[in-house]
Structure 1
Amino acid sequence: MTYFHIFICLCKTLSHLEEIVFTLYILSSTDSVRLVDGSSHCAGRVEVLHRGQWGSVCDDDWDMRDAAVVCRELGCGEAVDVLGNSHFGPGSGPIWMDDVDCSGSESTLKNCRSAGWGKHNCNQTKNAGVICSGKLQYIWVRLVGGPRCSGRVEVLHENTWATVCVEDFDQQDAEVVCRELGCGPSMEVLGAAAFGRGEGQVWTEELQCRGNESQINLCPKSSTLTHDCSHDNDVGLLCADMVRLANSSRPCTGRVEILHQGQWGTVCDDDWDMRDAAVVCRELGCGEAVDVMGKAHFGPGSGPIWMNKVACSGSESTLKNCGSSRRVSDCHLAGVICSGKLY
Structure 2
Amino acid sequence: MSVCDAVFDQQDAEVVCRELDCGAPLQVLGAAAFDKGDTQMWTQEIQCRGNESQIHLCPTSFRFTPKYNCSNKNSIGLLCTDLVNVRLVGGHSRCAGRVEVLHRGQWGTVCGFGWDLVDAAVVCRELNCGEPVDALTDVEAGPGSGPIWISNAECTGSESTLKKCGSTTCDFKGVCHGKSAGVICSGNLKLNL
Counterpart contact for 1:35–1:44, Cα < 8 Å = no
Distance verdict in 2 for CA 1:342–1:182, change over 3 Å: farther
Count of residue correspondences: 134
2:93 corresponds to 1:250? yes
Distance verdict in 2 for CA 1:326–1:137, change over 3 Å: same
Matched AA of 2:181: A
* Equivalent position of 1:340 in the other structure: 187
- By relative contact order (CA 8 Å, sep 6+), the higher-ranking structure is 2
Partner Cα separation in structure 2 for residue 308 and residue 322 of structure 1: 11
Counterpart contact for 1:270–1:308, Cα < 8 Å = yes
* Equivalent position of 1:262 in the other structure: 105
TM-fit CA distance, 1:326: 2.5
Higher strand share: 1
TM-fit CA distance, 1:290: 1.2
Higher helix share: 2
Partner Cα separation in structure 1 for residue 138 and residue 175 of structure 2: 11
* Equivalent position of 1:308 in the other structure: 151
- TM-score w.r.t. structure 2 length? 0.57
Distance verdict in 2 for CA 1:264–1:86, change over 3 Å: closer
Partner Cα separation in structure 2 for residue 325 and residue 260 of structure 1: 14
Gaps of 5+ in 1: 1-33, 47-73, 75-83, 94-135, 141-178, 184-240
TM-fit CA distance, 1:278: 0.8
Query: Following superposition, which runs of at least 4 residues in structure 1 exceed 6 angstroms of deviation?
Result: 35-38, 42-46
Identity %: 47
* Equivalent position of 2:175 in the other structure: 330
SS state at 2:118 partner = helix
Partner Cα separation in structure 1 for residue 139 and residue 2 of structure 2: 38
* Equivalent position of 2:118 in the other structure: 275
Matched AA of 2:87: R
Distance verdict in 2 for CA 1:273–1:35, change over 3 Å: farther
RMSD: 3.5
Matched AA of 2:57: P
SS state at 2:152 partner = strand
Counterpart contact for 2:2–2:76, Cα < 8 Å = no
Pairwise mapping of residues 1-343 of structure 1 onto structure 2 (< 5 A)? 34=1, 86-88=53-55, 90=57, 180-183=80-83, 241-327=84-170, 328=172, 329-331=174-176, 332-341=179-188
TM-fit CA distance, 1:249: 1.6
